[in-house]
Amino acid sequence: MRKVGIVGSGALARAVNARLLEFAVPVLVWGPDEEEVAECVRAGAAVAATPAEVASRTQFIIVTAADGQQSEQWHTGDHGVVQGMSDGRTVIDMTTVSPSLARKLARACEESGGAYLDAPVSGGAVAARTGNLVVMVGGPETAYDQALPVLEPLSRVVVRVGENGSGAVAKLCNQVMCFVNLCGVCEGFALGAKAGIDLRKLFGIVMAGAAQSWELDNMGPKILARDLSTGYPVSTSQYDLSLVLDAARELKVFLPATSIVQQLYHAVERLGDPALASQALIRALETMSDIEVRG
């Protein structure tokens, strides 16, 4: 396989780098954090000076930005990916971005002779490291087919949803279902706590019944153990929810439950603890109900 570029930062970028190197894929990395880049180099990657250099020296460029603003900067800013693109290059953007931004970045890449795939993921760094990502892809079918050998070592599910922007839409739909489901888990525990029942028994009951879900399985034990800082940050949750509700307004879709969840996260943010993760949604319900959920 030809050399793969990574333009990114954070745990996902490091996990993708490590996984590809395990499969003997040559990797060229650029990132804004020198320590993270050094870790990738120690694992076996080569280093580039700019995103443009990554694009000019690799066929596939995986982008893992914190948000849409950062992704756009790395693509179209000074020394950005687009400046280094040419025929045959394909961007695989794993950043969670709005559908409109995905289409904008696709046009910029196409104007430079390359292709752009919006390819947001579910599963995060842990899943990438073990090859268990779920990747939802929007973009040209030919570019998707060519990128599959890069995505398959990282993923247990890779699906082309449609044209550019459709992968971004699929990720937003996924986030709606995750956050509303998590809110239901928190509300169920809050009701049980206020009524005074054993929450460990409640957890076992609902895990065995129709309410079983990934959110309950993964977030339930953290909530009961008061582990409210491990996992998906509240700030990132709010970013995702903002993208969802922006898309809903644009499409004129009514998402009342999602809107309420966003307001609950606003209440969590007002607690002033930036370390809190998504399951800390329970804190908003505890404050309003004068309870503590523990089991």
- Hey, what's the torsion of the CAs at 205, 206, 212, 217, to 10 degrees? -80
Number of Cβ within 10 Å of residue 229's Cβ equals 15
The 10 Å CB-count burial string (b at 16+, else e) for 17-39 is bbbbbeeebebbbbbeeeebbeb
DSSP states along 66-98: SSHHHHHHHHHSTT-HHHH--TT-EEEE-S---
Distance in angstroms (rounded) separating the CA atoms of residues 28 and 54: 6
Q: Where in the chain is the domain with CATH 3.40.50.720?
A: 4-161
Predicted pLDDT at 1: 59
Tokens of 270: 């007002």
DSSP-derived 3-state class of residue 5:
strand
**H or E element, residue 112:** none
Predicted pLDDT at 190: 98
Taking the CA of residue 102 as centre, how many other CA atoms within 13 Å lie in the half-sphere pointing to its CB? 30
Question: What would you measure as the largest C-alpha separation in the chain, in angstroms?
Answer: 65
Residues 6+ apart with CB under 8 A from 35: none
Label residue 75 by pLDDT band (50, 70, 90): very high
Does the structural domain 170-289 have CATH classification 1.10.645.10?
Answer: no
pLDDT exceeding 70 applies to what percent of the chain? 100
Domain boundaries 4-161, corresponding CATH code: 3.40.50.720
DSSP-derived 3-state class of residue 133:
strand
Q: Where in the chain is the domain with CATH 1.10.1040.10?
A: 170-289
Residues 130-137, mean pLDDT to the nearest whole number: 98
Q: Residue 292, exposed/middle/buried by CB under 10 A (0-12, 13-18, 19+)?
A: exposed
User: What are the tens digits of pLDDT across the range 210-266?
Assistant: 999 999 999 999 999 999 999 999 999 999 999 999 999 999 999 999 999 999 999
State the DSSP code for 29: E
**Global pTM?**
0.95
Q: Residue 280, exposed/middle/buried by CB under 10 A (0-12, 13-18, 19+)?
A: buried
Pairing of strands 60-64, 4-8: parallel
Predicted pLDDT at 2: 79
